[in-house]
Amino acid sequence: MRLSEKFSQLGSEGAFIAYLCAGDPTYEKSLEAVESVIQAGADVIELGLPFSDPIADGPTIQKASQRALSSGMNTRRYFEFAAQVHGLADIPLVCMTYYNLLLRWGLRRFVESCVESGITALIIPDLPYEEACELEALCRKNQVDLIYIVAETTDEERLDEILSRAGGFLYVVSVLGTTGARKNISPTLKKLLEKLKAETQIPLAVGFGVSTPQHVSDILCLGADAVIVGSGLIDQYQKKRGGLFEYAKSLKQATYKP
């Protein structure tokens, strides 16, 4: 499913985007985790393809990536995994990974493999728009959304350029830094969301540091259309396998606007 379809289905309800790293800690257990998050009500699955050197990720996703790679996850198995997830439910599937893995697989082949396995969007955190032309053209041709990231450091000139290219949703980084659960929502997020809402119709998804139902409802109240939770889910799964479903459910419940 394309992201646009999901967002129009949801209407005023916020979208819960759940990130999990494929193959963490093993192929089978990871598939169970994804299934349980979908059952708990995740609207979109962001599926990480682990990379050995994830510079945009904090300790939780770094460790998850290491576990997944140690258990044999690679690009080939990733697409098999994604296809299986696709078979579980008809919801948008987003691939998040680093550019080197696309280059190595072949850009065209990578986008085609996404289409074949049911992935409809891509997030590549180390690919700014300056370097993205070739991938962007391939994505457009294959109807895959290339998702761009914005932060409070993104100036007007860059923002205009990003808004003219962005597909799917805009990934709004709530705090400057890497992925990972944090205690509080950044006080500057409100201003950033207001600015973005005034300039674009594209859905705004807030990620980095989101980990509690309170965060979720606060962020949606500030005007976001979606929240992305990754490290929080992985931390929970590490702590108590069985707790994942309840935790994910509590996050989804917080997306129902009062």
Partner 1 sequence: MKKKYGVYGGQYAPEILMPALKQLEADYSRLCGDEGFRDKLNSMLTDYAGRPTPLYFAENLSPSLGFDLFLKREDLLHSGAHKINNTLGQVLVAKQTGRKRVIAETGAGQHGVATAIAAAKLGLECEVYMGAKDVKRQSLNVFRMELMGAHVKSVESGSKTLKDAINEALRHWLSNAKDTFYCMGSVVGPHPYPAIVRDFQSVIGFEIKKQVKEKKGRLPDAIVACVGGGSNALGAFNEFLGEDVRLVGVEAAGEGVDTGKHCATLCTGSDGVLHGMYTKLLQDSFGQINPSHSISAGLDYPGVGPQLSHLSSINRIEAVSAGDSECMDAVKMLAESEGILPALESAHALAYVIKNKNEFKDKLVVVNLSGRGDKDVQTIADYFGVDL
Q: Which residues are catalytic?
A: 46, 57
Q: Could you please report the per-residue DSSP string of the chain? A: --HHHHHHHHTTSPEEEEEEETTSS-HHHHHHHHHHHHHTT-SEEEEE---S--TT--HHHHHHHHHHHHTT--HHHHHHHHHHHHHH--S-EEEE--HHHHHHH-HHHHHHHHHHHT--EEE-TT--GGG-HHHHHHHHHTT-EEEEEE-TT--HHHHHHHHHH--S-EEEESSSS-S---SS--TTHHHHHHHHHHH--S-EEEESS--SHHHHHHHHHTT-SEEEE-HHHHHHHHH-TTHHHHHHHHHHHTTS--
Minimum CB distance to partner 1 smaller for 54 or for 203: 54
Q: Out of 5, 80, 103, 115, name the contact with partner 1 by CB under 8 A.
A: 103
CB of 93 to partner 1, least distance (A): 20
The residue within the footprint of partner 1, chosen from 5, 80, 131, 134 (CB under 8 A), is 131
Kindly identify the residues of this chain, within the stretch 53-82, that bind partner 1 according to CB under 8 A. Answer: 53-59, 62, 66, 69, 74-76
Q: Is 231 in the site for partner 1 (CB under 8 A)?
A: no
**Region 134-153 residues binding partner 1, contact defined as CB under 8 A:** 148-151, 153
111 binds partner 1 (CB under 8 A): no
Please state the separation of Cα 142 from the chain's center in Å: 20
Q: Judged by CB under 8 A, which of 120, 178, 211, 217 binds partner 1?
A: 178
Piece of the chain touching partner 1 by CB under 8 A; list 9-17, 39-47, 83-91, 122-130: 122-130
Site for partner 1 in 27-56 (CB under 8 A): 51-56
Bond from prior residue into 125 cis (ω within 30 degrees of 0): no
Is there binding between residue 113 and partner 1 (CB under 8 A)?
Answer: no
Among 41, 126, 165, 245, binds partner 1 (CB under 8 A): 126
Among the residue ranges 8-16, 25-33, 119-127, 138-146, the one whose residues contact partner 1 (CB under 8 A):
119-127
What would the two tokens of residue 166 be?
A: 């962005």
Q: State which residue, 11 or 183, has the beta carbon closest to partner 1.
A: 183
- Note whether 127 binds partner 1 by CB under 8 A: yes
- d(C-alpha 146, C-alpha 135), whole Å: 8
Return the residue of 29, 140, 158, 190 that touches partner 1, per CB under 8 A: 158
Which parts of this chain interact with partner 1 (CB under 8 A)?
51-59, 62, 66, 69, 74-76, 98-101, 103-105, 125-128, 130-131, 148-151, 153-155, 158, 162, 173, 175-178
